[in-house]
Amino acid sequence: MSEGGDAAPAMSPFLAACRCEPAAHTPVWIMRQAGRYLPEYRKIRSEVDFLTLTKTPDLAVEVTLQPVRRFGMDAAILFSDIMTPVEGMGVPLDFAPGPVIETPIRSVEQVDALRIPDPEEGVPFVLETVRLLGEELPDSAPLIGFAGAPFTLFCYLVQGGGSKTFSEAKAFLFAEPEASRKLLEKLADTMVRYLEAQALAGAKALMIFDSWVGLLGPEQYREFAFPAVRRMIEGLDHLDVPLIYFPNQGSTLLGTVRDCGADVVGIDWRLPLADARKTLGPEIAVQGNLDPTALFAPRDELARQIDRVLADAGPAPGHIFNLGHGIERTTDPDAVAFLVDHVHEVSQRG
Amino acid sequence: MSEGGDAAPAMSPFLAACRCEPAAHTPVWIMRQAGRYLPEYRKIRSEVDFLTLTKTPDLAVEVTLQPVRRFGMDAAILFSDIMTPVEGMGVPLDFAPGPVIETPIRSVEQVDALRIPDPEEGVPFVLETVRLLGEELPDSAPLIGFAGAPFTLFCYLVQGGGSKTFSEAKAFLFAEPEASRKLLEKLADTMVRYLEAQALAGAKALMIFDSWVGLLGPEQYREFAFPAVRRMIEGLDHLDVPLIYFPNQGSTLLGTVRDCGADVVGIDWRLPLADARKTLGPEIAVQGNLDPTALFAPRDELARQIDRVLADAGPAPGHIFNLGHGIERTTDPDAVAFLVDHVHEVSQRG
């Protein structure tokens, strides 16, 4: 390493924490930080719909930057939707406002007919957004690219849209285990190409959202969802970017999650980070896990809740502060500013 | 005890299991066993709406009996709704089809204005249904009365209706802890009177549904939901009927749940019963926990899933077989028949 004027810049707190290395302070960002709780986001959305926003690089860049500018977040996350890359597989898709799949996948023939698309052809606007963000973002706020985990995408494709229970999708696992496995593998391979392309376009970390995996018991997780996400992570292993896996509501799955190969595991607010650390071991960083509704508490109570999360994470490196789920639309942006400042202040090191 | 012709009838397998005593076979019943998956239920519902059904004792008795007749269930559960007793507190309530509360509770003044009603005046039709069922049900299928847990009722009253996240209700806990505690206590006291009345009318066991408690992290559970449910269970302790508490999706709360005073704890399908037993100890029976979508599997896979649940529960007494959540509307009744017969067959004892 050289010294003096042209010293390599120190690794950002976010990237250091991803690698379980000491950071100047505990880094913080917030799931759905670019979104409706921000007036500057709502202003843009009053002019264009959600889909247009995700498909227009200049606008997607702008809303990605908004929370970084306003709060000094330690990471930015690509503004997009987990279903965006699925359309290119040959699945016509609508948003109303949740994803609607006209012809749900319910047979092995439909699975066989799905393509594994080239992201540069299928979703050039996403990669263009990532490239532009590489120019715009400060080194202190690296860009997180993301994709849905195979099981979560499976849920939408088989169910045909959003659902509280995704019972059709889960029933398909039980009734058609072979077709299910095939579909999960195809989704894994598609997402590998998609995330690879994001990394090549400049994303500094990659996150895999398994939003619906909490619907599975441990056995079905081990049998279906886990092999697919591990396949995905193995396919991304050659890239030199940290991988974050978020098994939402997956408290009872964590003993298996440990072996998925991710550098960081996101934890929802139901499991204290100390318990998560105990299960995951010292080599895996944790991300989370303030209850998003704590942002509605008076400031002193909010501070107490933040301090509890930091205490649960413990003094060892490898903690990225975040909410345990996406921020609520009715959240006061000033509460978010307080959160970011408070985390930075109390976690300042040396 | 007398012998011979007028010997006291043996305790039913269900009641024996509730008390962690050996039973002739593992008892089984199913959450929402009286419901839309049954053609004989749908026939009645094609003639009357849900609310009328809950308020007409003859009809409520009939649909309660239907699954007992068809499948030989080891317990019956009162056909009613957890919101039924809430109206008498002074909360106008509609179903459309979920509960809709015109004026959500958002202030301590509203809490103070709530009454603790006399069930015989407020919900005489429920108690009449319970009395009639006492005459109609065989000893082999004792009647389970039920109520909502304070926190779950709190969710509806503060949110103003159903919700995926109940974020308004949870935010109220953080923003107004004192008003929240008051409301939870009032709900606990109301439900004590309601369940007491059901027991006096002939219910042989009482179940407390905490359907939304899985939205809380362990700290908020300990601080708000748990004290209220313990207050409720203490208020029912003088009755000689087993109490079942179902903290839905409460895997990470179980260390606290252990001390709630219930005889039986219901477990959703996300936590293996062996793990639940380890946390709850040998004095508390467990109820559950087959994934409801397993009923969509081919018979051999369904049998394997049932056997796994039985194996997880272990050979010790104190297991009531059930699903880990309410049965899905599209379930084939023949799969339920298979389930009940299979549990009875493989768990037969001496």
From the list B37, B41, B156, B194, the catalytic residue is: B156
Which of A217, A305, A324 minimises the CB distance to B291? A217
Asked whether residue B14 is assigned to any structural domain, the reply reads no
For A121, phi then psi, to 5°, come to: -85, -40
Closest B-chain CA to A269: B217
Residue A350, pLDDT score: 54
Catalytic hit among B81, B94, B189, B291: B81
- Answer yes or no: are the C-beta atoms of A283 and A322 closer than 8 Å: no
**Which chain A residues are within 8 Å of B173, Cβ to Cβ?**
293
Give contacts of B296 with chain A, Cβ < 8 Å.
171, 174-175
Please tell me which residue of chain A has the smallest CA distance to B164.
Answer: A164
Nearest to A166 by CA among A183, A154, A175: A154
List, in sequence order, every residue forming a beta bridge with A189; answer none if it has no partner: none
- Residue B2's pLDDT is what? 38
Question: Which residues on neighbouring strands pair with residue B266, listed in sequence order?
Answer: B287
pLDDT range class, residue A53, cuts 50, 70, 90? very high
Residues on chain A touching B304 (C-beta within 8 angstroms): none
Within a domain: residue A144? yes
Cβ atoms B88, B117 nearer than 8 A: yes
- Is residue A60's pLDDT more than 60? yes
Distance CA A32, CA A74 (A): 14
Residue A9 forms part of a structural domain: no
Query: Is B156 assigned a catalytic role?
Result: yes
With CA atoms as reference, the chain A residue closest to B327 would be A167
Query: B270–A167: do the CB atoms touch at under 8 Å?
Result: no
What confidence tens digit (pLDDT) does each residue in A63-100 have? 999 999 999 999 999 999 999 999 999 998 888 778 99
Q: What residue of B is the nearest CA neighbor of A221?
A: B270
Domain-located, residue B13: no
The minimal CB distance from A293 to the residues B170, B292, B308 is found for B170
* Residues facing residue B289 across a β-bridge: B322
Using the beta-carbon criterion (under 8 Å), do B217 and A272 form an inter-chain contact?
yes
Beta bridge partners of B290: B323
**Confidence bin at A2 (pLDDT 50/70/90):** very low
In angstroms, the CA A4 to CA A322 distance is 35
Task: Give the span between the Cα atoms of A121 and B145, in whole angstroms.
Answer: 60
Mutation site, A211, A252, A302, A338, interface B, largest B CB count within 10 A? A252
DSSP A113-155: H-----HHHH-HHHHHHHHHHHHHS-TTSPEEEEEE-HHHHHH
**Minimal-distance CA residue of chain A relative to B295:** A171
A243 SS3 class: strand
Angle between helices A333-347 and A57-71 (to 10 degrees): 60
Between strands B76-77 and B143-148, the pairing is parallel
Structure confidence at residue B9 as a pLDDT band (50, 70, 90):
low
Q: Is residue A94 included in any domain, yes or no? A: yes
In a domain, A8, yes or no: no
Q: Which of A218, A292, A302 sits opposite B272 (nearest CB)?
A: A218
Q: How far B221 CA lies from chain A's nearest CA (Å)?
A: 10
Contact B292 A167 (CB under 8 A): yes
Q: Which residue shows structure tokens 């202190």? A: A140
Partner residue opposite A175 with nearest CB, options B173, B296, B305: B296
Q: Say if residue A1's pLDDT is above 90.
A: no
Neighbours of A235 (CB within 10 A): 16
* pLDDT exceeds 50 at position A16: yes
Reply yes or no on whether the pLDDT at B5 is more than 60. Answer: no
Percent of the residues in chain B that have a pLDDT greater than 90, as a whole number: 93
- CA-based nearest distance A80→chain B, Å: 22
Per-residue model confidence (pLDDT) at position B301: 95
pLDDT of residue B10: 73
- Tell me if B270 and A330 make a contact (CB, 8 A cut-off): no
The secondary structure element, H or E, covering residue B153 is helix B150-159
Helix (H) / strand (E) containing B201: none
**Average pLDDT of the segment spanning A265-286:** 98
Cβ within 8 Å of residue B261, ≥6 positions away:
B230, B233, B234, B237, B243
Interface test with A, best of B36, B163, B172, B174 (most A CBs within 10 A): B174
Partner-chain contact A217 B272, CB within 8 Å? yes
Q: Where are the alpha helices (DSSP H) in chain A?
A: 13-18, 39-45, 50-55, 57-71, 108-113, 119-122, 124-136, 150-159, 167-175, 177-200, 218-220, 226-236, 254-257, 273-280, 299-313, 333-347
How confident is the model over B47-95, as pLDDT tens digits?
Answer: 999 999 999 999 999 999 999 999 999 999 999 999 999 999 999 888 8
Nearest chain A alpha carbon to B162: A164
Res. A311: pLDDT tops 50: yes
User: Kind of pairing, strands A93-95 and A99-101?
Assistant: antiparallel
Q: Is B32 a catalytic residue?
A: yes
Closest-CA distance, B199 to chain A, in angstroms, reads 33
Amino acid A95: pLDDT: 81
pLDDT above 50 for B3: no
φ, ψ dihedrals at A112, nearest 5°? -60, -30
Residue A317 has which token pair?
A: 């490196």
Residues of chain A contacting residue B275, judged by C-beta atoms under 8 Å apart: 252
CATH of the domain at B38: 3.20.20.210
Pull the structure tokens for residue A170.
């889960």
Asked if omega into B289 is within 30° of 0 (cis), the reply is: yes
Size of interface A-B (CB pairs under 8 A): 81
What is the domain range of residue B129? 23-347
Nearest chain B Cα distance for residue A13, angstroms: 27
Of A174, A249, A271, the CB nearest to B297: A174
Please confirm, yes or no, whether A32 is among the known catalytic residues.
Answer: yes
Annotation marks residue B275 as catalytic: no
Q: Which residue has 């009734």 as its token pair? A: A175
Q: Is B166 left (phi over 0), alpha (psi -120 to 50) or beta?
A: left
> Is residue B8 very low, low, confident or very high in pLDDT (cuts 50, 70, 90)?
low
Instruction: Give the best-scoring range by mean pLDDT among A101-105, B98-102, B256-260.
Output: B256-260
On whether residue A285 sits in a domain, the answer given is yes
For the entire predicted model, the pTM comes to 0.95
Is a pLDDT exceeding 80 seen at residue A170?
yes
CA distance A27 to A287: 10
Residue with tokens 């069922």: B133
Min CA distance, B252 vs chain A (Å)? 6
Catalytic residue among A37, A41, A74, A81: A81
Q: Do A328 and B270 touch (CB under 8 A)?
A: no
Does B350 have pLDDT greater than 90?
no
Instruction: Identify the residue whose tokens are 């509605």.
Output: A296
Helix (H, G, I), strand (E, B) or coil at A266: strand
Residue in A81, A86, A45, A96 with CA at minimum distance from that of residue A66:
A45
Distances (CA, A) of A148 to A123, A181, A212, A232, B213: 15, 16, 10, 11, 27
pLDDT reading at A5 higher than 90: no
Task: Tell me the C-alpha distance between A105 and A91, whole Å.
Answer: 9
Tokens of A340: 């970011």
- Cα–Cα distances in Å, from A182 out to A107, A212, B293? 10, 19, 20
Count of CB atoms within 10 A of residue A334's CB? Answer: 10
DSSP 3-state of B86: helix
In a domain, B16, yes or no: no
Show which residues on chain A lie within 8 Å of chain B, measured between beta carbons: 164-165, 167, 170-171, 173-175, 177, 214, 216-220, 249, 251-252, 269-272, 275, 291-294, 296-298, 301-302, 305, 308, 324, 328, 330
Name the percent of chain A lying above pLDDT 70: 97
Those residues with Cβ within 8 angstroms of residue A43's Cβ, 6 or more apart along the chain or in another chain:
none
Q: Are the CB atoms for B101 and B157 separated by under 8 Å?
A: yes
Average pLDDT over residues A141-147: 98
Number of compact structural domains in chain B: 1
DSSP label at residue B317: S
Q: What is the mean pLDDT of chain B?
A: 95
Residues of B in contact with A291 (CB under 8 A): 170, 217, 220
State residue A9's pLDDT score: 56
**Annotated catalytic residue B36:** yes
Please determine, for residue A134, whether its predicted confidence score (pLDDT) is greater than 80: yes
Q: Measured in whole angstroms, how far is the alpha carbon of residue B232 from the centre of its chain?
A: 14
Question: How confident is the model at residue B236, as a pLDDT?
Answer: 98
